[in-house]
Structure 1
Amino acid sequence: MDLNERDIDDWPGHGLTDAELDAAYNVRALAGEERFGHLMARYRAMSDAAVEGLPGHPGIVYDETGGERLDVWGPGRDGEARPVFVFLHGGYWRALSRADSAFMARTLHRNGVATVVPDYTLAPAATLEEIVRQVRAAVAWVHRHGRAHGLDPGRVVVGGSSAGGHLTAMTMLDGWQAEFGLPGDAVRAAMPFSGLFDLRPLTRVYVNEWLGLDVRRAAALSPELLPAGRSLPAVVAVAEHDGPGFLQQSRRFARHWGRAAELMVVPDRDHFDVVLDLADERSAVSRALLALVHSL
């Protein structure tokens, strides 16, 4: 990253007060505690229903260093290798799990696509740098071991919501693949939802209580500030009623990614329910994801 100190400190919204920044990024407060709790319960209930009776390989350790596990749902059988959607959960890097995050698995299975849902070590037990390493290791597992589990490592789409949108973008970048012995096109397409692509504002909001970032580290972990490189196809999705910070960041990241990116502002959805539309194959986001998969 070639940014001087002035560039690093001069981020969009740096002149806002802390209270204004909190309003832009505190989507839990925007939703309200009752609605937030209801939606978190829906994540788990919909995920449980989606995987009940579904063929799969749950609980596989994908990273010996971190000891974290992933679930494979709806893989191919009898030698079939299905395209893969790797979904990275949100929760501001400190909450949720793979058990809350498989709500799309049955819908994708019906459409010939497998779902891989990894856990990662939550902050503050892990630094954000380590969390990024772990999700990249999950992609590496698909490449090394996918065929033995009914997955096609040549057709991998990564997606995720909120913090998972940030982690998705960190797998879209060039340069990290060599460390894992992967080809440069290990990720063939991507679909971040309501992501965070410039982390510098978070150094001044409550999220930094568990991230512990300074502005320089935040900049180094910000996909919007890093070279787009190989422009793989991406749908950058965000909810119409999302937090202002998330809407602005999604628009900027789509511009940063260039012609390969499509910005999708999903009407009548908020930060937490937009990704649940992946469970409905008639929804715009499901159609967009399946179009990405079938274009590979």
Structure 2
Amino acid sequence: MTVQFTDADREREYSPSSCIGGNYAPFLQAYADLSAHALDRHAVRRDLSYGVEPRQKLDLFLPAPDDGAVAVAGTPRPALLVFIHGGYWQELSKDQSLFAAPGALAEGAAFAAVDYTLAPHATVHDMALECRTALRWLHAHADEFGYDPSRIVVSGSSAGAHLAAMAGLRSWADDADLPAGLPAASVLVSGVYDLLPLIGTSINDALSLTSADVTAISPLRMSALGAPPSVVCWGEIETGEFKRQSQAYADVLAAAGALTDRFEIPARNHFDVIIDLTTPGTLLGDACLAWLRAPR
């Protein structure tokens, strides 16, 4: 059930920077710096088109050797971690979303960062369809690049967690289901899973959501039956609403038999929590990397 707030309270609760004094620019710079470091150290297939629109592109890192060769018979193909960035559906891009690539590669997994068309040039519904199209493209090209199509894990932060959750839901009214087993798992970090409370906030200025829109694009208002095994987590330094929404969606997934873990990450805020995505020895990193390690 949606908590009732004054307009000012709701604005604050859905402004994650309110927990850190309002300035989140240093965290965006950290994303960019770490992503640039990943590009310097690792080979990457940049700007692969999964559709015809300018933002329908992705970057793909493959474990060495970066030749897409099929593994020796009997050797499992690597898993693929797909990351969908946040930014309230209206900022950031894949170019600041490559920071988890080195950690995935260190585990012998591939990594892809997905771009999608931002508001106001696309609706949230359109963005979710784009992310589903990107997953279909990655699944269809698994043989070409040499990763395992049955071990594609989707992850996302904030708005990206919403899109990752939407990508894994079945029985869309206006889109065919993804191939069976796609994605193999979801790692959802600090997401927004019910968009209704955003109406009336400044966040909606670019999104133009109406109450009629939210049922079809809010995971909390959709069936989770058939959803992939999912991890749901959030930072300790988050607003009450971000924590409540994560807990509520974890409850929905648990009822559908699709929740594998939920947890709060101490001393992390809405912006730095995702940097741990593939860092071993961290709560989030260990939970994510468990899906990427080769089966024994």
Q: Find the aligned partners of 2:81 and 2:174 in 1 and give their Cα distance.
A: 22
CA RMSD of aligned residues (A): 2.0
Name the CA distance, whole Å, in 2 between partners of 1:124 and 1:222: 18
46, 49, 52: which one pairs with 2:34? 46
Aligned to 1:124: 120
2:251 matched to which residue of 1? 255
Q: 2:224 aligns with which of 213, 225, 228?
A: 228
- Counterpart in the other structure of 2:237: 241
Q: Deviations over 1:23-70 (max 9, x none)?
A: 111112332344x11111000001111232312211101112565110
Aligned to 1:12: 2
Equivalent position amino acid for 2:230 in 1? A
List alignment gaps of at least 5 residues for structure 1.
1-10
Q: Map Cα deviations across residues 188-242 of structure 1 (whole Å, 9 max, x no partner).
A: 1000100011110011211110110111201221001111111421110101111
Name the CA distance, whole Å, in 2 between partners of 1:246 and 1:186: 27
Alpha-carbon displacement from aligned partner over 1:67-90 (angstroms, at most 9, x marks no partner): 511000134643133211110000
* Contact 1:51–1:106 under 8 Å retained in 2: no
Report the residue type matching 1:270 in the other structure.
N
| Residue 22 (str. 1) matches residue 20 (str. 2) | no
- Which range moves more in the overlay, 19-28 or 162-171? 19-28
Q: Does 1:147 align with 2:138?
A: no
Given the alignment of the two structures, is residue 99 of structure 1 paired with residue 98 of structure 2, yes or no?
Answer: no
Q: Which shifted more, 88-97 or 176-185? A: 176-185
CA–CA separation in structure 2 for the residues paired with 1:169 and 1:181: 14
Change (3 A) 1:98 1:188: same
Q: Point out the structure with the larger helix share.
A: 1
TM-score by length of 1: 0.90
| Equivalent position of 1:276 in the other structure | 275
Distance in 2, matches of 1:63 and 1:29, equals 36
Q: 1:178 to 1:241 in 2, by over 3 A?
A: same
Within 2, Cα distance between the matches of 1:257 and 1:181?
18
Aligned-partner Cα distance in 2 for 1:178–1:79: 36
CA distance in 1, matches of 2:18, 2:57: 31
**Distance of aligned partners of 1:180 and 1:51 in 2 relative to their CA distance in 1, 3 Å threshold:** farther
CA distance in 2, matches of 1:180, 1:75: 31
User: In 1, distance between residues paired with 2:18 and 2:177?
Assistant: 42
Shift of 1:123: 0.4
What is the distance in 2 between the residues matched to 1:65 and 1:121?
8
* TM-score, length basis structure 2: 0.90
Cα 1:178–1:23, aligned 2, differ >3 Å: closer, same or farther? closer
Q: Using the alignment, how far apart are the partners of 1:180 and 1:62 within structure 2?
A: 17
Does the CA-based 8 Å contact 1:177-1:186 persist in structure 2? no
Q: What's 1:79 paired with?
A: 70
1:138 aligns with 2:137: no
Question: Percent identical across equivalent pairs?
Answer: 32
1:169 alignment counterpart: 165
Residue 102 of structure 1 deviates from its aligned partner by 0.9
- Aligned equivalents of 1:212 and 1:121: distance in 2? 15
